[in-house]
Amino acid sequence: MSVAPGLQPESWHLLSLLEQAPGLQALGDTLADLADEGHPVVVGTADLKYSNGLVRFQERHPDKYLQFGISEQHMVSTAAGLATTGLRPYVATFASFMALLACEQIRTDVAYTRQPVRLIGHHAGITLGFYGTSHHATEDLAVTRSIAGLTVVAPADTAALAAVLRASVDLPGPVYFRIGRGRDPDVYPAGTTLEIGKAVEHGTGSDLTLIATGSMVHPALGAAAALTADGYDVGVLDMHTVKPLDEEAVLRAARRSRLLMTVEEHNVLGGLGGAVAEVISEHGIPVRLHRHGIRDEYSLIGPPTHLYGHYRLNAAGVEAEAREALRTASRWTPGVDRV
């Protein structure tokens, strides 16, 4: 196995003790609130109620909580059956197990039958860094957005998670939620409301628009602030819904910016970058696009903060990547690639 440069193996055990994630309390609390309000919510998890905060739901609604043990595929299929009775099942496990291990069950039992199951893939991307490649989920956006009828959502922080959970409760059809480990810095205040399918625009930019999703929204905003201070005109789109993509927001950005840059904690193939590329190519918009993420490789092993630095997925890294992309874009004109 490959280990991120500079990480000593004796550090791994200490780092594993830091995985308790207070931010994921919003998951259990919001779902419990929805049940209190009379929504037909039932919740299940696969032996991870402490890691994902669903123990908080269990404490308030033990009769609506299901523990499946290490049986993720069974959990997804069971959720599809529960949904046929009028319930709204929210089931959660690590994103690598939800979107990859249970892909067939999501596609055939949930999406094909159009059941309103809510699939929560937590600790997505490289947030389980020191657990290794088997627990990393850098392909889940590509997998889930290719499944017909499946909505794909990646909130940026705790408030956004609560907002999209609320927005999803009456949404027809299945939803995949891609969330982190509950340690994302705040982007939005408590009580924020979000509309699934509609991006949040943080300023407009004639030089550059950063289009980010999930955990990458906060670093993108930090990079934008640094670039703006240096004289660039930069905007940020929080593309919290990867499917259905807010095409109008992408087209507006493509028409006003000379460069678009997608930022995702995911393989650059098939995820947000691919979705944006599809939109601008299908509409014939002559704009430069740079996709930033993990460059089609299996991610290294190390604590998430170390890996974010290595892959330029922190604010400083996004800024550096954007500066290089801006320099390249300055030597390019639409229809005549001189690079």
Q: What is the pLDDT of residues 264-295, one digit of tens each?
A: 999 999 999 999 999 999 999 999 999 999 99
Measured N-to-C along each axis, helices 315-329 and 217-229 cross at an angle, to the nearest 10 degrees, of: 60
Distances (CA, A) of 5 to 128, 276, 339: 17, 32, 32
Domain CATH number, residue 316:
3.40.50.920
Task: Name which of 112, 101, 95, 79 is nearest 154 in CA terms.
Answer: 95
> What percent of the chain has a predicted confidence (pLDDT) above 70?
91
One-letter identity of residue 336: V
Q: Judge whether residue 212 has pLDDT over 70.
A: yes
- The verdict on residue 211 lying in a domain is yes
Digit-coded pLDDT (tens) for 167-190: 999 999 999 999 998 888 999 999
Domain CATH number, residue 154:
3.40.50.970
Q: Is the pTM of this model over 0.75?
A: yes
Is residue 196 within 8 A of residue 151, CB to CB? The reply is yes
243-257: average pLDDT: 97
Q: Judge whether residue 1 has pLDDT over 80.
A: no
Residue 151, pLDDT score: 98
Of 178, 213, 234, at which residue does a domain stop?
178
How far apart are the C-alpha atoms of 148 and 91, rounded to whole Å?
A: 20
By residue range, what is the domain housing residue 18?
9-178
Answer yes or no: do 173 and 205 share one domain.
Answer: no
Measured N-to-C along each axis, helices 25-36 and 158-168 cross at an angle, to the nearest 10 degrees, of: 30
Please give the helix or strand (H or E) that residue 249 lies within, else none.
Answer: helix 247-256
Residue 251, pLDDT score: 97
How far apart are the C-alpha atoms of 323 and 207, rounded to whole Å?
A: 11
- The verdict on residue 233 lying in a domain is yes
- The verdict on residue 229 lying in a domain is yes
Answer yes or no: do 314 and 248 share one domain.
Answer: yes
Helices (H) and strands (E) in the chain, counts: 13, 12
Instruction: Please count the structural domains in the chain.
Output: 2
Digit-coded pLDDT (tens) for 62-106: 999 999 999 999 999 999 999 999 999 999 999 999 999 999 999
pLDDT band at 130; cut points 50, 70, 90? confident
Residue 16, pLDDT score: 38
Task: Name which of 239, 266, 262, 238 is nearest 141 in CA terms.
Answer: 266
Residue 181, pLDDT score: 87
Task: Name which of 131, 138, 180, 137 is nearest 3 in CA terms.
Answer: 131
Q: What are the tokens at 292?
A: 């930033």
3-state secondary structure of 192: coil
What is the secondary structure of 302-333 as a DSSP string?
S-HHHHHHHTT-SHHHHHHHHHHHHHHHTT-B
Answer yes or no: do 242 and 101 share one domain.
Answer: no
